[in-house]
Amino acid sequence: MKVTNHQGLAKRLVEKLRALGIRDQQVLDVLARTPRHEFMPESLAHQAYENTALPIGNGQTISQPYMVAKMTSLILEQTHGRVLEIGTGSGYQTAILAQLVSHVYSVERISQLQYHAQRRMKRLDLHNISMRHGDGWQGWVSKAPFDGIIVTAAASHVPDALLAQLSPDQGRLVIPVGAQQQELLVIERRGDEFLKRSEGAVRFVPLVQGDLA
């Protein structure tokens, strides 16, 4: 199904996000101009500008726009520099970040999802993105340290490898943690010290560890 008037639909979505408490105008502007319908199966494109997560295949989802906006805003509170994304998925969160930070490094364990995400980035003319097929629990050691790390699936616990790859100078990790009950954590690194706070309950697909697909 073709999506018509997507700019109008995106503008309406942004107003909903503003009403839900998203205040960062840069983030709202980027969401308004990014064609979310291009990041999902055509059969679901008519739902692209609803504030809901949607399936993209391989047991994965494209995140709820509110959560994309919130997690992006949390990263931008601290940095507009080099950001590692764990879980490329459709590439929607990747594309939002790429328009707001200097460079995005994105790791995806499912090769088919990574392939399609790379094609979308080229179509959108976004070139400050590096992608890797790998285990997100391990991060991307050779590109570390990162000013920010954003994780788009729920880990059973905070991976030590990601903490180690944060910049010692106030690097920030935004990550959903938990199984049946999940919470969104913001962890800031200050030298060898890590400061943690919760941003409330969330619901994400699990962050799978180990064998690649």
Which string of DSSP letters, residue by residue, matches 158-187? --HHHHHTB-TEEEEEEEEEESSSEEEEEE
Which of 200, 147, 195 lies closest to 177 in space, CA to CA? 200
Q: What angle do CA 2, 61, 15 make, to 5 degrees?
A: 65
Indicate the pTM of the whole model: 0.94
Instruction: Give the tokens for residue 149.
Output: 């790390």
Would you write out the chain's pLDDT as a tens digit for each of its 213 residues?
456 568 899 999 999 999 999 999 999 999 999 999 999 988 999 999 999 999 998 889 999 999 999 999 999 999 999 999 999 999 999 999 999 999 999 999 999 999 999 999 999 999 999 999 999 999 999 999 999 999 999 999 999 999 999 999 999 999 999 988 999 999 999 999 999 999 999 999 999 987 786
Domain ranges of the chain: 57-202
pLDDT, position 7: 85
Report helix, strand or coil for 106.
Answer: strand
**Catalytic residue chosen out of the listed positions 43, 63, 102, 167:** 63
Chain centroid to CA 66: how far? 11
Q: Which residues contact 52 (CB under 8 A, 6 or more apart)?
A: 64
Report helix, strand or coil for 50.
Answer: coil
**73 noted as active-site residue:** no
Q: In this structure, are strands 82-86 and 148-151 parallel, antiparallel, or unpaired? A: parallel
pLDDT, position 203: 93
Single-letter residue type at 126: L
Q: Which CATH architecture has domain 57-202?
A: 3-Layer(aba) Sandwich (3.40)
pLDDT, position 1: 46
Which helix (H) or strand (E) segment holds residue 95: the answer is helix 92-98
